A and B are shown apart, each in its own frame.
Chain A
Amino acid sequence: MLDRLFRFLSSLKLTVVLLGFAIVLVFVGTLAQVNEGLYQAQTRYFKSFLIFWSPKGSGFSLPVFPGGYLIGTVLLANLLSAHISRFKWSRKKIGIFAVHAGLILLLMGQLLTDALSTESVMRLAEGQALNYSQDFRANELAIIDTSDPKQDHIVAIPESLVIKQREIRPAEVPFTVRVLQYWENSALFDSPTNGAFTVGATKGYGTSAYLLPMKTTVSMDDRNIPSALVEIVSPEGSVGTWLLSAQTSSPQGFDYKGKPYRLALRFTRYYKPFSLKLESFTHERYRGTDIPKNFASVVRLQRPETGEDREVKIFMNNPLRYNGETYYQAGFDKNNDNLPRKITHLQVVRNPGWLTPYFSCALVALGLVIQFGQHLVGFVQKRRAA
């Protein structure tokens, strides 16, 4: 049985079928980006084990095609088992081995990147210092215990849990968070407008705000602004109901058993052990046009625990690599010309596997040089002998 499975996994036919699936997947997934947007198409076609399809009007969905994760994993298993089954050490094949090892490293590196990498953005106004970046898409419900005069203790519940609209009872807080309603995309108004309604919050700005549910966006240039109606329930009963929204950063919260808590629905934050302060932002344009020629941010990196305090210039193609993260000069506020303090956007990429493509490409190149070199040497020797 195991033998058969191994033979199946190491067969060349499987490789061909998998590559065929990969071609179809890339084709369909690329076309799907037109309607579904880059992010959603990537999640549905490439970052999934199976692709599901729901017949119109039905409540169920059927798996119809293998997703990127499944194809990639089986391809990796195929490559590894083929090597194990056919591995015979010989100097002649050293080039081929290096090429395959490079491919295996590339596949594993991509899976690592996908699983471990995060991308976020740090938006800084001149003079402003921040010690966190914010996710491009993900949101979180944060319960912040502000009783400590020096530190805030934060319990961050990811959107995926909040969206299920259920009771969440984090061990770190003495109450339950009951998510009564969740709107993936919304707009809040402070006066009634057509279609906007009050949500029945008993505390905070939600008592007078009007909510307009919006269609969720799939555009890369846009993001959803979620809102949630949340009830805090203590063992003694309900503490209150709040409307939380990523649209506003107005703080709201309550006291429970002498401790002040704040509630927020916000873009997921990634805190750092250091802070970046934007000293200045410069933006040069080609004369007479609005086409950016160069834009650069001078930031001050301050890390209290090590006493590090230095100035770094981040500009196009010259990112800051620090603490396992890369800070790219990604953009700026389009109203900068009218702002007294310019605003920069730094893209923050944490990718522990960022070196693997370099290694794998080097390995593949080395393998090819050895392989063709051997052929060349053999060919030249044969000609000489003749």
Chain B
Amino acid sequence: MAVLCFALLAGCGRNDVRVYSVPKEAPSMETASDAQPHLHWTLPSGWEEREGDQMRVARFAARGTDGQGAEVSIIPLGGFGQQGGSKDQLLNIWREQLKLAPWKPDEVSNSATPIAIGAAQGELYEMVSDEAIMENRKARTLVALLNADDGLWIFKMTGHTDFVEKQKPEFASFLKSISIDKSAPTPIPRMGASTNSKRIPSSEEADAKRKPSWTVPQNWKEQPSQMALVKYVVQDDGGRVAEVTVTAFAGDGGGLLANVNRWRRQVGLNEFQQSDLTANIADIDLGGTKATLVDMIGVNPKDGKKTRIIGAVVPHEGKTWFFKLMGDEQVAEKEKQTFVKFVQTTQFPDA
């Protein structure tokens, strides 16, 4: 009995405050050896330095009057291009965030203006949202890209459009002041990891365990994607292809109408009004969760081919999941039922 009492008392001790001393933690490999290249800069007045993370080696915040502000981040992409990433794709991630239609390759080259980044020459891109997507104001993103021996360096400023416009000289002088210590090792973040993460630096335990699971049809082949959570490619005997992607955004991700219109623009269709939307959607059931299904056929402005998009929008637990099948019209038609079944097999982490 005495043993039992001891055991139970010892068990209760787990809820007490613990006091202990431990040797100082050596900087982890990820930050010490190859994560943090040595960067130097001159901070413009009014900017505040923020804690960097695995992806962004440095972060800054600039605040203006009237609640306006902007965030600046520096992202090194070691081995960029070797793993299939392209500059167009990268820029189109940010265009998508601003709810803008993707740039074609020639638009990308026409939009670049030279800018000094330290002693080197980089390219500056500017994009402004059409809609008021940032606290009822339009958003503006400035992206400076520097091709270096060790990969691609991204310097990005995003914020309220008027404020970012005013901050352009500061951003330019900041870029001019940058120096990258070449003796430092190559940065680690690689293409394949999401570059449009909106989350604050997170412990991987937290992120990894929040992904849903689903049953993937056998003929779908998974491919790495930096934009989507997962990407599958399906090809028919004639070599025609369609892609399935799954992405998630917090909240309603901008709303159903805005997202459907984004997809419509991608296949060169006119935008829907709310009344058009209501008439052109169907519901599917995910074991209690209602999802919205949309289907559209248009022409892909990139290649002029007839393209179909079948999308399912699933709001769940404060997030909205976007499942999208896009590609050759006939492949999409053949895969439509499989796609719907795939969406319906989704098991959310807390289900």
Contacts and interface: CB of A to CB of B under 8 A. Distances in A.
A131 B202 contact: no
A108 B4 contact: yes
A335 to B, nearest CB: 8
A267 B205 contact: yes
B51 interface: yes
A5 to B, nearest CB: 15
Given A190-B71, A212-B250, A215-B317, A205 B51 contact: yes
A333 interface: yes
B287 interface: no
Given A217-B350, A221-B349, A172 B19 contact: yes
A128 interface: yes
B133 to A, nearest CB: 10
Given A114-B11, A194-B252, A195-B318, A156 B17 contact: yes
B33 A127 contact: yes
A338 B26 contact: no
B10 A247 contact: no
Nearest to B201: A248
Contacts of B200: 188-190, 205, 209, 245, 247-248, 250
B190 interface: yes
Interface stretch (B165-173, B206-214, B304-312, B333-341): B206-214
Interface residues of A, number: 74
A153 interface: yes
A148 B20 CA distance: 13
A249 B7 contact: no
A151 B21 contact: yes
A192 to B, nearest CB: 6
B3 interface: yes
A192 B252 contact: no
B192 interface: yes
Contact of A187 (B17, B201, B204, B250): B250
A247 B15 contact: no
B22 A152 contact: yes
Contacts of A132: 22
Contacts of A250: 51, 53, 200-201
A219 B209 CA distance: 10
Given A111-B7, A190-B198, A154 B61 contact: no
B11 A338 contact: no
A300 to B, nearest CB: 14
B209 A221 contact: yes
Contact of B29 (A160, A187, A341): A341
B24 to A, nearest CB: 6
Interface of B: 3-4, 7-8, 10-11, 14-26, 28-30, 33, 50-51, 53, 61, 71, 134-135, 188, 190, 192, 198-206, 208-210, 224, 249-252, 317-318, 349-351
